[in-house]
Amino acid sequence: MNDTGLTRFSPPRWSRRLRRAGAPTNWFPTRLHDPRTAVAVGRWLGAGVLVCFLTGLVSHGLQSPGDWLATRLPTRPVWGYRLTQGLHVITGFALVPLLLVKLWVVYPRLFVLPPVRSLRHALERFSVAVLVGAALLQVFLGLVNIVQWYPWPFSFRPVHWALAWVLLGATLLHVAVQAPAIAAYWRGKGRDPDGPERRSLLLGLGAAVGTVTLVTAGQTVAPLRRVTLLAPRRPDGSAQGLPINRTAAEAGVREVSPETWRLRLAGPRAHELSLAELRRLPQHGARLPIACVEGWSATADWSGVRVRDLLELVGAPPGASARVVSLQRRGGYRVSELPPQFVRDPLTLLALRLNGQVLSLDHGFPARIIAPNRPGVLQTKWVTTIEVSA
């Protein structure tokens, strides 16, 4: 490892030789391929990766909590997941300019000669390769996943989850390896002949981040809806005021007859309710967001029966949790678990109406779950059974 300090990355020797031989181009003509610029951009990139990692951790915890965490997940704030997953995808978009500019700055380093000086140097270069690969792939997977395109031969979630740890680790290691350059950056303030050029690059980077954010963030930030020009979702103006992720047809749910449909309640005093009976139970309203794992979200007015009232009906013990089963026949998330604190919550509804109308079939007719602070994939639609589970 060479502790570069703040000298310019030296251009590859072959490029100098080429130039001496009269090659037309100066390969890296600007002066910004230097450690100082690398640190200036890298701190923002590092912060972005950290935000994505932490918000991703929240998403993973909510979807796969394990026994210990399940009963400790908070139900407040109701917009918790909306915030974290919205931030995840907003930051993810911002990583595109940050990552590409960072890689542009350090690109000449790819051609250092000799390519490998020592075992340590080889390990260092390998860790950088892992860092670059994981960062590029992680952002690529995320951005392509949210347009609902899955061109890779593996499933997204477990790979994105594993890569998140690889990327976090490679980032930490990288910061440790580059500590001298980072320290020199902070010490070196004030003596900077390239200052204006670098500031202009950083301003351009800021413009890119700002623009990318502006035209996509309205997926989840309601005041930006009108400038949502390039996001996969624009939640306003959709069916019943709310986008749909999986339609009834995709889930293999055909017409549900309001006459023959029954809600099965399994518990100490098992019970069946028709839709008419369900409508005669006390109805409650809740204004809650739907927040999709894909990073869009929107608030809606829901009304229906409190899940805790239903569980009382079947004599569930206090502190019971519930398993919700859907009519859907295709795709994941047919069953969801409601931990005790979500069952107890007065805002957790078996919703029958959305924004003042009966749920449409694609929104889960005749009945769906809506609970605070949960990913949309767990807001089970087309509910057929609610089981008390201890």
Partner 1 sequence: MTPLRWTLGLLGVAAMLAGARLLVAGTPPGTPLDVALWLAGAVMAHDLLLAPLVLLVGAVVWRLPERRALRGALLTIGCVALITLPILLRPGPPRNATVLRLDYPLNLLGVVAAVLLAASALVGVRRARRRGDAPNATGPGT
Token pair in block for residue 215: 């035209």
Distance CA 234, CA 169 (A): 35
311 phi and psi angles, rounded to 5 deg: -70, -35
- Which of 33, 82, 102, 160 touches ligand HEM (CB under 6 A)? 160
Binders in 151-170 for partner 1, by CB under 8 A:
152-155, 158-159, 161-170
Binders in 330-349 for partner 1, by CB under 8 A:
none
Is 54 a residue that touches ligand HEM (CB under 6 A)? Answer: no
Distances from the Cα of 174 to the Cα of 98, 165, 191, 215, 314, angstroms: 16, 14, 25, 32, 57
- Which of 4, 37, 75, 138 touches ligand HEM (CB under 6 A)? 138
CB 228 within 8 A of CB 61: no
Is 291 a residue that touches ligand HEM (CB under 6 A)? Answer: no
Distance CA 232, CA 240 (A): 18
- Which of 146, 184, 212, 354 touches ligand HEM (CB under 6 A)? 146
Nearer to ligand HEM, 62 or 324 (CB): 62
CB within 8 Å of 78: residues ≥ 6 apart: 288, 289, 347, 372, 373
Q: How far is the CB of 146 from partner 1 (least distance, A)?
A: 8
Binders in 204-223 for partner 1, by CB under 8 A:
204-205, 207-208, 211-212, 215-216
* DSSP SS3 for 193: coil
Could you give the residue ranges of the DSSP H alpha helices within 107-244?
119-145, 156-177, 179-187, 195-216
Q: How far is the CB of 376 from partner 1 (least distance, A)?
A: 13
Is 143 a residue that touches partner 1 (CB under 8 A)? Answer: yes
Binders in 70-109 for partner 1, by CB under 8 A:
93, 96-97, 100-101, 103-104, 107
Return residues touching ligand HEM (CB under 6 A): 49, 52-53, 56-57, 59-60, 63, 88-89, 92-93, 95, 138-139, 142-143, 145-146, 157, 160-161, 164, 167, 293-295
